[in-house]
Structure 1
Amino acid sequence: MTAPATTVPATAAAGTAPGLSCPFPAVPSEGSVLDVADGVSWVRMPLPFALDHINLWLLRDGDGWVVVDCGVASNRTRAAWESVFGTVLEGRPVTRVIVTHFHPDHMGLAAWICGRFGADLLMTQTEWLYARLLSQDRSTSMAESSRSFYAMAGLDAEQLAAMAQRGNPYPHGVPEVPATYRRLRHGTRLTIGGRTWEVVVGGGHSPEHACLWCADARILISGDQVLPRISPNVSVWPAEPDADPIVDFLDSLARLETLPEETLVLPSHGLPFHGLRSRCRQLAEHHRERFEETLAACAETPRTVMELTAILFRRPLDTHQLSFAVGEALAHLNHLLVRGTLRRERDGAGILRFRTVG
C-alpha cells in the first residue's frame, strides 16, 4: 500500500526480553505507519504516562479498513489519527473498530472513530460493559469503596488523599463509549482482507481480553495479554477486592503457548517479536518468582499490602503507578490466600495483614 513509512529508532525502553527476536528495528513515527505484513500496518500513538506509547493496528479489508485499538482520548492522539486518515487510508473508510479491552489507551477514541466513519464497534461483552459503566460513573459510592480499599491496603493519609483526588479518571481517557456494539466471544471468526482472524479470549490483565489470531499469516495481535519486555499488569481493584486474577492470567498464557513459536506477535507496547512460547513461559515464571518473594516476605512478619508493594516494586511510584502496583501486590496475596499458603487477618486499625501458613 502507499503510505507514510517514517520511522524512528527503537529505544532501549521499547526492547524485548532475552530469547526473543524483533524483525523491525525501528518504530513508526507519530502520524505515520509501518507495514509489518501484507495488509497489516503498525500505528504508534503517544500516551501521557511513564509507559509513553501504544501500538495500534490497521488491517486492510477490501474497500475499507479495520482499526484494532484506538489510543487514549487526547488532542494529540486525534491529530495523529487525522494524519493517518488523510494519507494512509487512501480515501477508503474505516468499517470496523475492534477494541481488545476496556482500558483507556485502547478504548479512548473508539466512539470518535466509529462516529466519524459510521463504523461498527466489536469487543467482548464484559469489556464493553466495564467501559460503559466507568465512563459514566460519578457516584459517591465508587469513591467511598475506593478509599476503603486503599485504606485496608495500608496506604498512609497522604497517599489516600492523592488517590481520592484522582477520583474516577476513566472518563478523562474515555469520554464516550458507543451505545451499541457487536459481541466477540472466544472462538469468534472474523474475515478481514480475505483472511480468517480468530478471537482468543484471555483474562487477568482485564476480564475478557480479546486477542486476534490469524493462522494463515501466523500473526497474533496480542493486545496487553503478552508483551515483549514488561509483564502485563495483573491487579485486584476496589470493585472486586477478593479477586484472583492471576489464575485467569496463567490459564490464558497456557492457551496462547499452544500457538506456534514462530508466530509474529503484535503487542500493544514494545516491539513486534517472534518467540511467543518462550515469552509465555517467561511471564509465568515471573509470577512464580513473585509468589516466592511474597511467601518469604510474609514469613518474616505479617505484611500489609502496601508493605509488600514496597518489597515487590523497589522504585519511586507516582499515584498512577502506585494504584497498579498495589493492585498487583494484592493479586499475588489473594492467589496465595486461595491456595492456602497465606492467611489473612485485620488489625486494630482495620488494615489487612497477611502471614505465611506454617
Structure 2
Amino acid sequence: MTEAEATLPPPPEPGAVAEIRPGLRWARMPLPFPPGHVNLWLLADGAGWLAVDAGARTDESVGLWTRILEEGLEGRPVTRLLATHFHPDHVGFAGWLCERTGAALLMPRAEYLMARFLCLDTDEGMSAQQLDFAAALGAPEDYLAFLAARGPLYARAVMPLPRQYRRIAQDDRIAIGGQEWRVMTGGGHAPEMAALHCAELGVLIAADQILPRISPYVGVGATEPEADPLRDFLDSNARLRALPAGTLVLPSHGEPFLGLHERIDVLAAHHAERLGTLEAACATPLTAYEASGVLFPRVKEHRPRGFALGETLAHLNRLVAEGRVVREEGAVPRYSRK
C-alpha cells in the first residue's frame, strides 16, 4: 500500500458515506450475489449532488438510500444521476432514485436502450432463442431445463427507468461542482460503459472497466453470439493507459487504488494466459460448453454456468478472430486449434 492509499478511508458501512476528497464521497450498497457490494460515488454539484450509479433493486435499498439522502449529503438533494451501464447492480435502483429526488438521468445511449430493451422481457420462461443459443454451445439437457424454468431475470432486478434521459458519449465534458469531468466510454464488459476522469483531481471513476482484485466479466450472450467483447475490453483498457500513472482509480467493486497502468497490464496478461490455455485445449475439438470446463473447472452448479459460458465464448471468438482456432460449423459447433 502506498502512502497516498493509506490516507484513503475504509469502506463505508451500507447507508453511510465516506469522504475521498472534499466534495467527493463514497457509498457502498450490498449485493445479494458476488462480489457482495457495489460502490457508488457522490460528487458535490452546486446546490445538490451528482450520484454515479444507484445500486441494485433489493429489499434494503429504500432504507439505505433514504439514510444517505437524509444524513449523508448535508441536506442537499441528488439532482443528477449518472448511470455508468445497464447492469442491474448499477442501474437496478435508478428508477426509484430519480422518482424520489427528481434527479435527471445521464447515461450512454447504448446502455440506456439496452436496459429498456431487457426490461421488456417479462416472459415467465426463457425464450426459445435463448435456449437455442445455449443448446448450440453444447449445453446438456439438465442445464437447458434449468434455464427454461428460471426464465429471464433482468426485468425483475431493475426498477422501471425514466422515459427521458440525457445522453452522454465519449469525450463529453461534464461540469460538476466547478470541475470538468471527461466521459470515457469502454466496451467489453458492457457495450458503452461510462467512466469519468477529472484531470484536475487526478481521479478516474472507472465503473467496472478496471477492478483492483478481480477481472471484470467479459462475455457473449444470445443477442450477438459472434461478438468479440474481449477485443473491445482490451482496446478500451489500452486507451485508459494514456491517463497519468498516478491516477486514483475509484472502481465499482473493491477499494480505491493507485497503479492504473500496472493493473491494466495484469488484466491483459490474465486474458493472454486464458487465451493460451484455451488454444492448447482445442488441440482436441471442443464445444463451447466443454471449453468452459477448461477455463472454469470449479464451476459445477448451473447458476454460475451462464457466466462461465459467456466468458468462454468471448475467448473462443477472440481466438477465431486471431486465426488461432477454427470454428467447425454444425448444430453444435466445435473449436479446434489450427
Q: Does TM, scored on the shorter chain, surpass 0.5?
A: yes
Superposition pairs for residues 85-234 of structure 1, below 5 Å?
85-138=69-122, 143-234=127-218
Cα distance in 2 for partners of 1:288, 1:258 equals: 21
2:335 matched to which residue of 1? 354
Q: SS at the partner of 1:242?
A: coil
Report the residue type matching 1:312 in the other structure.
L
Q: Does 1:334 align with 2:321?
A: no
Q: Does 1:245 align with 2:229?
A: yes
**8 A Cα contact 1:154 1:306, kept in partner:** yes
Report the residue type matching 1:288 in the other structure.
A
More divergent stretch after superposition (27-36 vs 319-328): 319-328
Q: SS at the partner of 2:243?
A: coil
Go from structure 1 to structure 2 and tell me whether the alpha carbon gap of 1:135 and 1:334 turns closer, same or farther (over 3 Å shift): same
Give how far 1:321 is off. 2.1
Which of 286, 308, 331 aligns to 1:325? It is 308
More divergent stretch after superposition (332-341 vs 227-236): 332-341
**8 A Cα contact 1:227 1:269, kept in partner:** yes
Give how far 1:145 is off. 1.2
Cα distance in 2 for partners of 1:94, 1:25 equals: 23
If asked which structure has higher relative contact order (CA below 8 Å, sep 6+), I would say 1
Go from structure 1 to structure 2 and tell me whether the alpha carbon gap of 1:341 and 1:141 turns closer, same or farther (over 3 Å shift): farther
Give how far 1:142 is off. 6.6
**8 A Cα contact 1:237 1:327, kept in partner:** yes
Report the residue type matching 2:289 in the other structure.
M
1:306-338: CA deviation from partner (whole Å, max 9, x where unpaired): 111111112135444211110000000011111
2:290 matched to which residue of 1? 307
Q: SS at the partner of 1:316?
A: coil
What residue ranges of structure 2 are gaps of 5+ in the alignment?
Answer: none
1:80 matched to which residue of 2? 64
Q: SS at the partner of 1:273?
A: coil
Which of 282, 288, 296 aligns to 1:298? It is 282
1:169-209: CA deviation from partner (whole Å, max 9, x where unpaired): 00121131111100001001111111100000100000001
**8 A Cα contact 1:24 1:271, kept in partner:** no
Q: SS at the partner of 2:64?
A: helix
Go from structure 1 to structure 2 and tell me whether the alpha carbon gap of 1:29 and 1:307 turns closer, same or farther (over 3 Å shift): same
Give how far 1:158 is off. 1.3
Superposition pairs for residues 241-280 of structure 1, below 5 Å?
241-280=225-264
Go from structure 1 to structure 2 and tell me whether the alpha carbon gap of 1:222 and 1:205 turns closer, same or farther (over 3 Å shift): same
Tell me the TM-score normalised to structure 1 length.
0.90
Give how far 1:25 is off. 6.3
**8 A Cα contact 2:124 2:151, kept in partner:** no
More divergent stretch after superposition (166-175 vs 140-149): 140-149
**8 A Cα contact 2:24 2:42, kept in partner:** yes
1:13 matched to which residue of 2? none
What residue ranges of structure 1 are gaps of 5+ in the alignment?
Answer: 1-15
Cα distance in 1 for partners of 2:161, 2:187 equals: 21
Cα distance in 1 for partners of 2:255, 2:303 equals: 24
Cα distance in 2 for partners of 1:86, 1:172 equals: 28
**8 A Cα contact 2:5 2:258, kept in partner:** yes
**8 A Cα contact 1:44 1:55, kept in partner:** yes
**8 A Cα contact 1:22 1:271, kept in partner:** no
Q: SS at the partner of 2:127?
A: helix
**8 A Cα contact 1:22 1:273, kept in partner:** no
Cα distance in 1 for partners of 2:300, 2:265 equals: 28
**8 A Cα contact 2:125 2:149, kept in partner:** no
The count of corresponding residues between Structure 1 and Structure 2 is: 337
Give how far 1:231 is off. 0.5
Report the residue type matching 2:57 in the other structure.
A
Give how far 1:62 is off. 1.4
Cα distance in 2 for partners of 1:23, 1:308 equals: 44
Q: Identity rate of aligned residues, in percent? A: 47
Go from structure 1 to structure 2 and tell me whether the alpha carbon gap of 1:199 and 1:317 turns closer, same or farther (over 3 Å shift): farther
Go from structure 1 to structure 2 and tell me whether the alpha carbon gap of 1:75 and 1:57 turns closer, same or farther (over 3 Å shift): same
